[in-house]
Chain A
Amino acid sequence: ETGVTQTPRHLVMGMTNKKSLKCEQHLGHNAMYWYKQSAKKPLELMFVYSLEERVENNSVPSRFSPECPNSSHLFLHLHTLQPEDSALYLCASSQDMGAPGTDTQYFGPGTRLTVL
């Protein structure tokens, strides 16, 4: 247990569905992250929130919409996804962002998403 939980662990959805991924951290951290991990590809940073404000958005398609209602929760809203969006979506948190010693990221177990 890393202190970061993600639900659901597995999700199968059609291209016209709308679903949301949830992440919760119990570590009192200030920064939260969404990553996409596809087979044989490196971790792709999607979004970063620091103190509930979005600080990075790495050219992610608008069919992915993040939400950070408070410092403990992070959501990723999904709509009209494509089959190539099938991947493991990982949430992580860190005490702060970019400061040596406090930027260790703690990952959740991920949501395995399959888009049909």
Chain B
Amino acid sequence: TQLLEQSPQFLSIQEGENLTVYCNSSSVFSSLQWYRQEPGEGPVLLVTVVTGGEVKKLKRLTFQFGDARKDSSLHITAAQTGDTGLYLCAGAGQAGTALIFGKGTTLSVSS
């Protein structure tokens, strides 16, 4: 069974701080996605990483896919209150199977 472990589970920081959240597995994934979910809404896709070692930037967010395609990280620079939400990673395994979701990291950014 493929599992994705996300850490930390909860993170509470001040505006302007930097942070990194992690998504780890013992399994190899063909691609990995990061979603953000705000309270009362469904998750929204932030990025998909496909190639081992790939780094993608989305404004203040930097996503990295591990060389072995087993892990990923999300780094946020100078966090803002609008970054508050649940961050989910999801891995794609074999063709014809549904995405595997991690439990998520709940981020709270206060002013």
A98 touches B98 (CB 8 A): yes
Q: Which of B67-111 contact A (CB under 8 A)?
A: 88, 90, 92-99, 101-104
Where chain A touches its partner, the secondary structure class is loop
Residue count of chain A within 8 Å CB distance of chain B: 27
Number of A-B pairs, beta carbon distance below 8 Å: 68
B98 touches A33 (CB 8 A): yes
Interface size class of B (residues with CB under 8 A): 20 to 34
Which residues of A have CB within 8 Å of B24? none
A105 touches B90 (CB 8 A): yes
- Is A66's CB within 8 Å of the partner chain B? no
From B30, B41, B45, A104 is in contact (CB under 8 Å) with B45
Given A48-B98, A50-B96, A105-B99, 5 more A-B residue pairs with CB atoms under 8 Å apart are: A33-B98, A45-B101, A55-B96, A56-B98, A105-B43
| Interface residues of A, Cβ cutoff 8 Å to B | 2, 4, 33, 41-43, 45, 48, 50, 55-56, 90, 92, 97-101, 103-110, 112
